[in-house]
Structure 1
């Protein structure tokens, strides 16, 4: 058992605790203890190759509870900023702390082994330093190359970070270790196959730091200049790059001209997905079907999706076990991560986890989308509607109206003409 080092109140010192032990490698796994209002992430390493601070924390808390029993009654004390202390937290357990601010009958303290800050009545803190030979067990981490919008992390952005990270295991790429181990470690974070930076950018809470990107480009250029006299062979080292591009759509006949269509899917009674029913569309459909069959023979070996921006093309695994063309519509859930996708050849939507999404081969971008989203002219919800069952995502429409339009249109061969194009 660790031997506690307790000092009398009059000898409580500033900065009494040792800094955390930083990982020696470039990658590690952490459990996130807390996220600060300034966007700093406090994590404990848990890899077998590093100090397993998660286990050490459990043992330390147990030892502290035993030691605090012998401290006796608290005497009046004048607190100073930066002092070490014992804190009785909201979990009714004692923890190691550090004084950040003193006001009235309360003290603002940081739990040094978990990172978070709390305002505590003075009756719940004790002027003593516990187990000072044990380093702080959480490492402050800052996201590398990512700037909060407005240069300050807004409350909704911090809320999202907490929802995504707290008490969760994450994979961490260590980009830069601090010169002072008490300072922040620069990291990139990945979980469920996704980059945290991508999620924060998608929600418009942050942007890439251009100065970091320029620095990296400058370093790469210097490296190229230094190596230009050497003869390198890259044979066998090539990797397939993710497909870059977007889907195309078939050309719809001019305004006022009749053309045959098949209704593929109804979103609402007046918003539907159609496919053209002409010879070229049929040929494209057959060629696409053959290409998808070829891709599905090895689809599980395709790289997982890495671009999670809205509208990004991908392959999505359907309930029949086959992959079909799709595009991302947005994030549906964050814990666990689930994304909303649209099947571009059918019009239907689905919510999938990241392991059911793959990068799309470039050849599948050559075929135009089979489903075209259109609005039906002359249809709108009634001003008065006594139906109680409503379409959940469009409550202005009743389910009865949706079922009626489904029976009239779904899968039917019809004639259409364009009256307006946005």
Structure 2
């Protein structure tokens, strides 16, 4: 793209990203409409092959500077430049999305090389150009998060008239017309910043750019980010999906720099903030130069009344820095170890082990951590921050890494145990350096030969029952897939756990599970059970008749058979639902003396029933796959579960026929938007819930309630009965991941959420996912 001439300094800029760079604001945007559209067209044509894995590469092929396709958190591929490979051994790569300006950390599995694709992917330059905003600065030397979020929401994904006011060694300085006024003047008027003469801004940026050249080779370090679970090879952490690539974990460089008439530069520290934008994309068709990103560390307050001197003071030696990440460990192939399985929720595909020989070291460290006073974080947490976090169950404090941010909650990965949990910001603490240095005690493994097993919840449950609380022998084997996780064989009392699982699966009649809907598809569904916005179940509308026929056969079978007695965990069976005394297909999830907890596989809810309410199942009754499909509502998948929103979803969706649009897939859950097309105009469920959550003023005009065109399709289910004042108990999930805590002891009731919104009197106990 061509540099605008000195006589043509005004142009149209489509803003894609806003960042703070020390005292100044950095704006990223697109100016070439045709090139942007061409890139989108190229990706449309290549999408299928990208999803099939064409262009996937081993870790050895990844190096900094290479241009590739990278799947962002919205499930879409964009062009990116690899900018950091420090954590390549853990399957994580730092990238810069060159057409949008944001940076992120993604898993190696989300990268595709362009060797087998249209050469235009590599011939077209990056479309995101960076500029400094003219005439405004933050005197504190750092743009605070609320201000940046506000600016992001005001500016991004819209087109503005921009003028080049000056040119620095690195980036142009521009002014932007915002709603008929100068953007910088507007920011000063609302006290987002203070005015700064252009001449002084040029001098300050000239000093900063000169110092940055001395620090150009300082390597940034990226912390761990969330993993996905492609094929059978699990990654180390879970990904969450914002709406677009500019809504990313923003990388900001911060340094504490004194100012005494000069600017001292120190090695930059990379920070990240989550910026979410929902504005639509509208590229423009003018040209401006493409420049490689230059990063300047943040600076402290500057006395703008007197210009800084021309001589720059020498940088002072920096104090020793705290380690920014924990050290993992690899066990040698063919070695054998006595281990505990500390995390098994995701079955044999992804579990964590602790060495028995490390038990005392771990206990000593945990004792030392928990007996000390703890200090709150001195700065807002970032993705990848090492810290201490308090577990919600037993309230002990453990070593952790911040994986995601959500309001006052953070998603923590507890490195010594292998599980994740949403934790309040007030339960997150600074970690002393001495606790960062020891290697993590939990190592993540995949069971060797797991491809031979039929995947499903029953497999995970059986694996958990076999290994939890046991001392096992682990034999480390060579990787059976991409070397992003270790593989091993487990032995329990000298018996291969894989063989035990295979025998267990072979001896039982098992349900097949209906396949998840393809990403991007739309399907008519019936919402059969609502637990929360991140855990509800739907059935395909076109399978309802088949299901009803099976239910009739189940009823006839159960009325003419007797209870088989206690069944093992994972067994397929038929079970009576106490509230309506009807029989349904089910699977045993847990045993509790004379009672068992069953999952009604066609509806999604769980219930504790008497052993006498169980019946065996026949091969004919399991031919139809289990119909319940687990979903999370788009827009709520990263939010902490609230009773209010769960009740709203139940009121708007339970046992209604809606249109589901699959916008994401995470583990065994479909992220969907729900639309009620039986009313006029069609009702978006999530949007209606947002409206219901907003406070109404006394004089506000109430919206007219849509009138249904016809009554929703109904049918008998374990949830379609009146509460009649009966008290229901149910479990609220704290995060998208299932609860990692062991099941509670005692006589807990397991009752499903009722089908009636107003009929519930109380919600006390929990049911596990």
TM-score, normalising length: structure 1: 0.40
